[in-house]
Amino acid sequence: MINEFSGIGNLGKNPTLTPVVIDGESRKVANMRVYFDRPVGGDFKDKGGFWLSVDIWGFRAEEAIRVLKKGARAYFSGTMRMEEWTDEDSGEIRSEMRLSADYFFIDSMCVENVIYREKKQQVESGVAA
């Protein structure tokens, strides 16, 4: 079964950064809600889309917090997973599909200005030059 997903959508609000401990190691995750639409035709009417919770982990989480804002249009690619929890109020088991994004790219049509990092900074941050 393939659980890969990629799509273009708009952020419903600013992403939040949450520290998570996994196997004793602290990691950062950026959480956000994204509306993935299905525009049709030249007038770009929405043919019916859906909201999806998106998580971005590690050094990309900090970059997501820095550059993604409410309303930003971006491409996300990663793997889908089912998350379950017990609702504190009702005691019922809840679940939702979430996207663990490996990559995200901002739609350049929504960017006013771009400032590139120096190559030395790119290498130090884990981004290949």
Domains assigned to the chain:
4-124 (2.40.50.140)
DSSP element (H, E) containing 128:
none
pLDDT of residue 111: 80
Longest CA–CA span in the chain (Å) reads 52
Of all residues in the chain, what percent carry a pLDDT higher than 90? Answer: 57
pLDDT, tens digit, 9 for 90 and up, residues 89-124: 999 999 999 999 999 999 888 788 878 878 765 555
**C-alpha dihedral sign at 30, 4, 39, 48:** negative
CA distance 7 to 93: 28
What is the pLDDT, as a whole number, of residue 50? 92
pTM of the model: 0.78
Banded model confidence at residue 3, pLDDT cuts 50, 70, 90: confident
- How far, CA to CA in Å, does 67 sit from each of 48, 56, 114? 27, 13, 11
CA–CA separation, 127 and 52 (whole Å): 27
Alpha helices, H only, the chain: 59-67, 119-124
